[in-house]
Amino acid sequence: MSLTPSNMLPLGTVAPQFKLYDAISERTVSLDEIKSDVATVVMFICNHCPYVKHIQSELVKMAEDYIPDGVQFVAISSNDVENYPEDSPELMKTEARKWGYPFPYLYDETQSVARSYDAACTPDFYVFDGHMQLVYRGQLDDSRPGNEKELTGRDLRNTLDDIIKGNPVSEDQRPSQGCNIKWKK
């Protein structure tokens, strides 16, 4: 496991479009179908990463807390499943059901979506406002496996609270850290 930080896509970037297979519903889903007029959270995650495993309960709780406020969440796995079969779409569906993901879990087989978002690690978070402009990219909070810091989702929650209240989002943002995306050779 190699600790990798986010690349920190420039704020104001318009969300790159995508159309990907949803392992949960077993249908193709586009960003246009699922985006929100309030905020859309795009998360790059995977099944096997210990950093993702560490935060899964908070991801589900956060989505359940904010979906009623009109925030949309979507998770994307872009790992090379040939070399990391535990991240296959079949096992993505199993993992999503186990945790009760209330959001789509999309498979980026070509890795083109991860590249278009300049995603580097799992987990990697992007929040787009109602105009689909990037207002936040970075970490969920300061908690990491083994660092004894409480898992709160503070950074992402503060961002979503600001958007919902109509307040500007702080530009003081810290990169996420996690396993590197497993790129195809």
Asked if pLDDT for residue 2 goes beyond 80, the answer is no
Residues near 23 by Cβ (< 8 Å), separated by ≥ 6?
77, 89, 90, 92, 93, 96, 105, 106, 107
Mode of pairing for the β-strands spanning 3-5 and 177-180: antiparallel
Asked if pLDDT for residue 137 goes beyond 80, the answer is yes
Place of tokens 């990491």: 144
Q: What percent of the chain has pLDDT over 90?
A: 96
Domain locations along the chain? 3-180
Mention the CATH class of domain 3-180: alpha beta
Instruction: Give mean pLDDT, residues 24-45.
Output: 98
How far is Cα 21 from Cα 17, in angstroms, rounded to an integer?
A: 14
How far is Cα 13 from Cα 163, in angstroms, rounded to an integer?
A: 17
- Residue 128 · residue 39 · CB < 8 Å: yes
Asked if pLDDT for residue 47 goes beyond 90, the answer is yes
Predicted pLDDT at 1: 52
Question: With bands split at pLDDT 50, 70 and 90, how would you rate the model's confidence at 3?
Answer: confident
Asked if pLDDT for residue 70 goes beyond 90, the answer is yes
Question: With bands split at pLDDT 50, 70 and 90, how would you rate the model's confidence at 185?
Answer: confident
How far is Cα 47 from Cα 89, in angstroms, rounded to an integer?
A: 10
Structure token pair of residue 61 = 């709780």
- Whole-Å CA distances, 25 to 34, 69, 72, 98, 106: 13, 23, 16, 15, 10
How far is Cα 66 from Cα 40, in angstroms, rounded to an integer?
A: 11
Question: With bands split at pLDDT 50, 70 and 90, how would you rate the model's confidence at 25?
Answer: very high
How far out from the chain centre does Cα 101 lie?
12
Question: Computed from CA positions of residues 66, 69, 71, 75, in that sequence, does the dihedral angle turn out positive or negative?
Answer: positive
Instruction: Give mean pLDDT, residues 14-39.
Output: 98
- Whole-Å CA distances, 165 to 52, 65, 77, 168: 28, 15, 31, 9
